[in-house]
């Protein structure tokens, strides 16, 4: 039966053929509609296969009070037939579906197999049937609904397509029934069809906007008393139908259609523009759509529906960003239809916060953008409501960390997931939004100590919360007023009472997902443990705070904080005399015990504050670079003002005795040298810089008149004159003052142990390098060789090291005395090789390397024996044998580097010794042998050919069987050095073993557990890859060859 009804619909909607060229489109459409309707009526009466459909059609026709047999409008007659067939199909499918649902289950004997599909409901249509039904619905909407909409209601047919303009001319509005009744009939039938779920999808996927426009016009369009096309009851039913429809359909689609119905701006653009294409809706429809949109917005999940309606289908381009900002402005503005602004923001703000928590990658970015912009707009326009309904719930987990109590939260105060979400929301709104305002800064400042405490906790281990905490803290410090930022820094550094910090009974603990949670502390703790935890925690907080300040590269805040602390230190120095006078006047005998206790406690508190200030200053100087502390000239001047004021305070007070101390005098002279350097700089100082320096004049004058040191008085007077004249007067000794200050600072920082001994104070300290320039080495001509040999045995470390360097220099220059005493020098170097001080044995290593380079025949054999079997000298310590062997290996490596072209001649004994060393029981010796082997093989070139098989077997066996990772690294590194040293000769020298070495390297990359070994293997493979590319694809050279013919 369903197929018969759909066949009838197909007869009515099927095109008849090509229209004649002489007829217009309007005439052709008119003729097609008349012909198809006549054909349908004829087939229903004559075709026996459609008898059932004809009977059901007649029943539907009898129940339809809107049907008119005779009408002059061909288009409406066609629409009536379509409506009858749609009603017939709907009733038939409804009855069939009811019988299907009421049918009893099959008996147990006829149970279907599990793999069999369940029976399809009767309302399921095939693709071709859906296409036929869709064509009928399109005819109904185009001919029976859209033409009767008032101008401005919905999108006109003429704006949709060229066919729509033809349809508009075909409609006869003056024919019976009137347009209002026609629109009501069509809308009611479409709603009846949509009551069946399978048909509702076909109706609303394409024609939802037209149905909504029809219901709005039928239910809400104002009319005069005598011109109402519908009764009051009919209008009320249309309104109810509209409400039901808006509640059933997916809300983003409803909102999108309402926005279209609301139309474009009142002043439309040119006829061809996109703004004019949307049209301007009537005032009543604009108000109605605004009211309906507000209702959609204020219902549960309404904010999400609005955002999806506007942003779905976006590509993430600039237009989508503008849409996000527009939606944010809409959400931040309270609609006129809302009963109260308080109720609106109470409903909307939680939904805005929910937008921040989307995890879908496709929509999360846009939703977060909308939520961030909406929150910032609310904070700017409605700060009271934003604070109450937006910021307070957002920061609630952090505030709970402050006010948590053991009674309310005996175990866990804040869960890991809750704290993580809170910090992510703070990062999105404050840092990503990046729109600082007083409300945002004040709200964040209240919980800033908690965020800093959590940041210090995350610095102790790996946590994904570290980055948002750090970025939030940096954002606050970078965007706050200087006074507020300095106040917060004082609180975070412990110089002020810690307010709004984590509750004393709770602490942060690591979570299972890389975050943190707030839990109750353990009740039973030792006092010493508690004191240690407190002191170490304060030190750690200071270090973390300095790391934060180090991130403020382009900010003056670190310098301002440093100068603020120095200023406070100066004020304490000024108050020291008064405190001492007050202590002298105090009569302890006349005081009660309580007053004495208060007096002592007050002094202890002041001392604790001073110690805390000094600790913060010490950590700042240690952790921050001076370029960051004093970035500008004004900050340098502030620093000097503080320094000079402290010096002036000590001149006339009780602390005057400390003025003449070396530390005070040196500090003051270095500070004044800093000012002299600033005044003597090559770049010209500006007028603002000199104006800033005027604050130095009063303390400089005091120093000129009262300081006991004459040099400081003179320097202060000269600086004062230069500053007062803006550089017009510049004394000659100003540059000397700069030089003297530098010499004092360098002399304080560059003291060496050698400087303590008069006999060698003129010699610079030795370095541990392999070769030293002539300017760095001591001169050996001022003493005979015997004296240097004696000093090489001196128990003083610097003296012995200098003597060894002098002997090395004599051997390098082939001094005659050194050549004759070659054996003694060798014995001295070998003895000092066992010395425990690096200053000595590095000089001995350097001397032995020079000896091996100058006299390889005699020296290398001795060194090889010591490397293979340990030190051969009688007084050698057996417990230091391994260390001495490694030092001998270092000498052999330096000797291998110095061989150059003589390596093939001198390197054979070394090669055998190094290969034997790879089987040594000590892993350090094996690694050293391999390292030396790599240095030597890199220089052997073609002479390595006969030994390639032995070398390859050794390296391959070590790579695959050695247990120590250090030795495997060295073996792989030998291959890399070998390939790097041979270069293009690799394919010739290693032709027999190259495949074995390649397979060994690939085995390391695939199977070795040590990452460093794998890295060495990858580097070696890259070297081999470069060699083979050059071998297979040699560089093309354009050369001319001259051949002499015989």
From the first residue on, what is the mean pLDDT of each consecutive set of 10 residues in the chain (1046 residues)? Answer: 85 69 71 86 84 84 79 83 89 87 65 64 87 90 87 82 74 75 90 89 90 90 78 90 90 88 59 48 87 86 85 59 81 79 88 86 80 90 91 93 87 91 93 91 92 92 90 92 90 84 88 89 70 83 90 85 79 59 57 65 69 82 75 75 75 51 63 73 70 82 82 82 80 56 40 32 35 41 69 75 80 74 74 74 79 71 70 54 74 73 67 77 82 76 74 84 86 85 81 85 87 87 86 77 77
* The token pair that represents 1003 in the structure block: 């085995």
Closest to 912 (Cα-Cα) out of 859, 969, 950? 950
For tokens 């004082």, what's the residue? 490
Straight-line distance from the first to the last Cα atom of the chain, in angstroms, rounded to the nearest whole number: 108
Helix (H) or strand (E) holding 517: strand 516-520
* The token pair that represents 590 in the structure block: 């006349």
The answer to whether 984 and 1027 are in contact (CB under 8 A) is: yes
Which residues have C-beta within 8 Å of that of residue 434, sequence separation ≥ 6? 475
Residue 782 backbone dihedrals phi, psi, to 5 degrees: -85, -5
For tokens 């070769």, what's the residue? 771
The answer to whether 633 and 692 are in contact (CB under 8 A) is: yes
Cα 975 from Cα 977, distance rounded (Å): 5
* The token pair that represents 912 in the structure block: 């055998």
* The token pair that represents 2 in the structure block: 């369903």
The answer to whether 40 and 11 are in contact (CB under 8 A) is: yes
DSSP code at position 280: B
The answer to whether 141 and 133 are in contact (CB under 8 A) is: no
Which residues have C-beta within 8 Å of that of residue 360, sequence separation ≥ 6? none
* The token pair that represents 198 in the structure block: 């399978």
The per-residue DSSP string of 644-692 comes to HHHHHHHHHSGGGGGTTSHHHHHHHHHHHHHHHHHHT-SSPPPHHHHHH
Which residues have C-beta within 8 Å of that of residue 965, sequence separation ≥ 6? 1009, 1010, 1012, 1013
* The token pair that represents 207 in the structure block: 């024609």
SS3 call for 858: helix
For tokens 């009898």, what's the residue? 62
Q: Where on the phi/psi map is residue 524: left (φ > 0), alpha (ψ -120 to 50), or beta?
A: beta
Q: For residue 292, how many other CB atoms are within 10 A of its CB?
A: 21
Residue 113 backbone dihedrals phi, psi, to 5 degrees: -70, 155
For tokens 């970025």, what's the residue? 471
Q: Tell me the CA distances in angstroms from 745 to 676, 703, 741, 748, one per residue in order.
A: 14, 21, 6, 5
Sign of the alpha-carbon dihedral angle for 222, 227, 231, 237:
negative
Cα 193 from Cα 255, distance rounded (Å): 23
* The token pair that represents 213 in the structure block: 């426009």
* The token pair that represents 370 in the structure block: 């909308």
β-pair partners for 263: 280
Contacts 24+ apart (CB under 8 A), 423-427: 423/451, 423/454, 423/465, 423/468, 423/469, 423/472, 424/356, 424/468, 425/353, 425/356, 425/357, 425/394, 426/394, 426/395, 426/398, 426/451, 426/468, 426/472, 427/468, 427/471, 427/472
The answer to whether 439 and 387 are in contact (CB under 8 A) is: yes
Closest to 33 (Cα-Cα) out of 91, 65, 73? 73
The answer to whether 488 and 480 are in contact (CB under 8 A) is: yes
Cα 441 from Cα 855, distance rounded (Å): 76
By CB neighbour count within 10 A (0-12 exposed, 13-18 middle, 19+ buried), where does 644 fall?
A: buried
pLDDT at 734: 62
Angle, CA of 567, 571 and 572, to the nearest 5°: 115
Closest to 818 (Cα-Cα) out of 873, 857, 773, 780? 780
SS3 call for 516: strand
DSSP code at position 520: E
Cα 181 from Cα 228, distance rounded (Å): 11
């Amino acid at each position: 039966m369903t197929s018969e009804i759909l066949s009838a619909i197909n007869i009515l909607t099927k095109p008849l053929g090509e229209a004649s060229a002489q007829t217009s489109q309007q005439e052709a459409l008119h003729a097609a509609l008349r012909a198809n309707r006549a054909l349908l009526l004829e087939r229903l009466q004559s075709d026996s296969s459609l008898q059932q459909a004809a009977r059901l059609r007649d029943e539907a026709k009898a129940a339809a009070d809107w049907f008119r047999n005779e009408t002059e409008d061909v288009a409406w007659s066609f629409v009536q037939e379509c409506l009858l067939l749609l009603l017939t199909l709907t009733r038939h499918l409804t009855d069939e579906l009811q019988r299907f649902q009421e049918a009893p289950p099959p008996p147990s004997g006829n149970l279907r197999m599990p793999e069999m599909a369940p029976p399809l409901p009767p309302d399921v249509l095939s693709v071709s049937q859906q296409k036929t039904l869709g064509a009928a619905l399109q005819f109904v909407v185009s001919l029976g609904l859209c033409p009767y909409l008032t101008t401005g209601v919905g999108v006109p047919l003429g704006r949709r397509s060229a066919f729509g303009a033809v349809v508009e001319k075909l409609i006869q509005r003056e024919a019976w029934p009137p347009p209002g009744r026609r629109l009501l009939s069509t809308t009611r039938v479409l709603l009846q069809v949509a009551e069946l779920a399978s048909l509702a999808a076909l109706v609303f996927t394409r024609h939802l906007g037209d149905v909504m426009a029809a219901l709005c016009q039928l239910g809400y369009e104002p009319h005069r008393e005598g011109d109402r096309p519908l009764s009051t009851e009919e209008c009320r039913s249309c309104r109810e139908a509209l409400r039901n429809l808006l509640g059933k359909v997916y809300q983003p689609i409803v909102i999108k259609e309402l926005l279209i119905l609301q139309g474009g701006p009142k002043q439309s653009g040119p006829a061809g523009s996109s703004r004019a294409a949307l049209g301007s809706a009537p005032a009543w429809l604009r108000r109605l759509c605004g009211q309906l949109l507000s209702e959609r917005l204020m219902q549960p999940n309404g904010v999400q529906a609005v955002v999806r309606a506007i942003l779905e289908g976006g590509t993430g381009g600039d237009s989508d960003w503008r849409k996000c900002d527009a939606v944010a402005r809409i959400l931040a503005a309270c609609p006129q239809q809302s009963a109260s602004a308080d109720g609106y923001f109470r409903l909307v703000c939680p939904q805005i916060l929910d937008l921040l928590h989307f995890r879908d990658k496709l929509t999360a970015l846009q939703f977060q953008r909308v939520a961030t912009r909406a929150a910032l707009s609310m904070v700017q326009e409605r700060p009271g409501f934003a604070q109450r309904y937006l910021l307070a719930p957002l920061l609630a987990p952090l505030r709970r960390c402050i006010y948590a109590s053991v009674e309310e939260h005996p175990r866990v105060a804040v869960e890991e997931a809750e704290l993580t979400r809170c910090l992510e929301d703070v990062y999105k709104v404050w840092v990503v939004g990046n729109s600082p305002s007083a409300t945002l800064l004040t709200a964040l400042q209240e919980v800033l100590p908690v965020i800093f405490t959590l940041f210090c906790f995350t610095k102790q281990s790996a946590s994904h919360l570290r980055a948002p905490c750090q970025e939030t803290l940096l954002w606050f410090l970078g965007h706050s007023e200087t006074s507020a930022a300095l106040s917060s820094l004082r609180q975070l550094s412990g110089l002020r009472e810690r307010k709004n910090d984590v509750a004393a009974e709770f602490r942060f603990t690591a979570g299972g997902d890389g975050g943190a949670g707030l839990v109750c502390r353990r009740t039973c703790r030792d006092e010493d443990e508690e004191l240690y935890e407190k002191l170490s925690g304060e030190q750690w907080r200071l270090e973390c705070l300095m790391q934060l300040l180090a991130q403020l590269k382009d900010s003056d805040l670190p310098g301002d904080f440093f100068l603020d602390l120095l200023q406070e230190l100066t004020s304490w120095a000024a108050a020291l005399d008064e405190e001492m006078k007050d202590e002298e006047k105090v009569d302890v005998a006349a005081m009660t015990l309580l007053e004495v206790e208060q007096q002592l406690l007050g002094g202890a508190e002041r001392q604790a504050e001073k110690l805390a200030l000094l600790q913060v200053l010490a950590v700042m100087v240690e952790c921050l670079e001076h370029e960051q502390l004093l970035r500008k000239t004004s900050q340098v001047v502030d620093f000097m003002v503080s320094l000079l004021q402290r010096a002036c305070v000590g001149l006339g007070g009780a602390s005057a005795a400390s003025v003449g101390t070396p530390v005070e005098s040196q500090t003051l002279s270095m500070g004044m040298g800093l000012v002299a350097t600033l005044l003597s700089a090559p770049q010209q100082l500006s007028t603002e810089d000199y104006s800033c320096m005027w604050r130095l004049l009063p303390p400089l004058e005091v120093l000129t008149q009262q300081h006991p040191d004459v040099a400081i008085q003179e320097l202060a007077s000269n600086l004062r004159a230069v500053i007062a004249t803006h550089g017009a007067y510049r004394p000659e000794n100003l540059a000397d003052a700069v030089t003297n200050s530098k010499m004092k600072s360098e002399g304080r920082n560059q003291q060496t142990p050698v400087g303590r001994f008069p006999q060698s104070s003129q010699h610079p300290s030795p370095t541990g390098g392999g070769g030293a320039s002539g300017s760095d080495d001591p001169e050996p001509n001022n003493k005979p060789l015997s004296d240097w040999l004696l000093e090489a045995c001196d128990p003083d470390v610097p003296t012995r090291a200098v003597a060894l360097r002098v002997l090395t220099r004599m051997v390098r220059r082939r001094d005659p005395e050194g050549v004759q005493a070659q054996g003694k020098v060798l014995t001295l170097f070998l003895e000092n090789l066992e010395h425990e001080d690096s200053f000595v044995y590095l000089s001995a290593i350097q001397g032995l390397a020079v000896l091996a380079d100058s006299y390889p025949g005699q020296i290398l054999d001795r060194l090889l024996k010591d490397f293979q079997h340990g030190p051969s000298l009688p007084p050698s310590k057996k417990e230091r044998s391994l260390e001495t062997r490694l030092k001998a290996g270092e000498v052999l490596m330096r000797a291998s580097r110095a061989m150059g072209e003589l390596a093939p001649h001198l390197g054979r004994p070394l090669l055998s010794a190094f290969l034997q060393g790879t089987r040594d029981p000590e892993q350090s010796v094996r690694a050293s042998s391999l390292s030396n082997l790599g240095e030597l093989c890199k220089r052997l070139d073609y002479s390595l050919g006969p030994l390639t098989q032995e070398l390859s077997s050794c390296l391959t066996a070590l790579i695959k069987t050695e247990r120590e990772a250090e030795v495997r690294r060295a073996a792989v590194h030998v291959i890399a050095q070998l390939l790097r040293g041979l270069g293009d000769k690799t394919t010739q020298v290693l032709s027999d073993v190259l495949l074995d070495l390649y397979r060994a390297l690939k085995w390391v990359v695939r199977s070795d557990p040590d990452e460093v070994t794998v890295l060495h293997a990858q580097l070696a493979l890259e070297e081999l890859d470069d060699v083979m590319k050059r071998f297979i694809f040699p560089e093309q050279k354009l050369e001319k060859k001259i051949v002499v013919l015989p």
